[in-house]
Each structure stands twice: as structure tokens, then as C-alpha cells.
């Protein structure tokens, strides 16, 4: 196992290099897989946002006037419900 001349172990060095290359390839694969998963989630999220904005009525989602009308309708419906129930 050890060379008597220079007291080094060529076999251990070769084994450690081969294990290191296997470990590195696994870590590189794991890193690439993680990167692809994160990229996929970002793409899906952006696509979902785009679809929501392009849906019918989605263009009015941030319109303050529409929000105010919706709020008034909801308040009126709540008042009518309370009146009908006698509260």
C-alpha cells in the first residue's frame, strides 16, 4: 500500500480522487436540479400572474372606482340581510 521510497500512498490518493469526483458530480447534479426547480416555479408564478391579469375583469382589479362600487353593494346587501332578519 505505501511506497517505501517516498512514503506516499498512490492507492489512497487514487481512491480519494475517484470518490471526490463522484461526490462532486452528485453535488453538481443536485445544484442543477435545485436551480431547475426554482426556475420552473418562477416561470409558473409569472405565467399565473399574467393569466390573472388577462382574465375577463382582471383589468379592473386595481380600479378604485370598481372597488368602491363593490364595497357599496356589499354594505347594502348586509343592511338588507339584517333588516330582513330583524336584527
Does 61 map to a domain? yes
CB 79 within 8 A of CB 73: no
Does 2 map to a domain? no
CB 25 within 8 A of CB 33: no
Cα–Cα separations (whole angstroms), residue 22 to 13, 19, 28: 14, 5, 10
Does 3 map to a domain? no
Does 5 map to a domain? no
Task: For residues 38 and 86, give the distance between their C-alpha atoms in angstroms, rounded to a whole number.
Answer: 55
Does 4 map to a domain? no
SS3 of residue 63 by DSSP:
coil
pLDDT tens for the chain, residues 1 to 87: 444 445 555 555 555 555 556 666 778 888 889 999 999 999 999 898 888 777 766 677 778 888 899 999 999 999 999 999 876
Residue 79: give the domain boundaries: 10-85
Please give the tally of structural domains in the chain: 1
Does 75 map to a domain? yes
Amino acid at each position: 500500500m505505501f511506497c517505501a521510497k517516498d512514503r506516499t500512498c498512490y492507492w489512497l490518493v487514487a481512491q480519494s480522487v475517484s470518490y471526490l469526483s463522484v461526490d462532486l458530480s452528485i453535488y453538481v447534479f443536485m445544484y442543477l436540479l435545485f436551480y431547475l426547480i426554482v426556475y420552473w416555479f418562477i416561470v409558473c408564478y409569472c405565467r399565473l400572474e399574467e393569466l390573472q391579469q388577462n382574465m375577463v375583469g382582471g383589468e379592473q382589479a386595481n380600479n378604485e372606482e370598481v372597488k368602491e362600487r363593490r364595497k357599496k353593494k356589499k354594505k347594502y346587501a348586509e343592511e338588507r340581510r339584517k333588516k330582513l332578519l330583524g336584527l
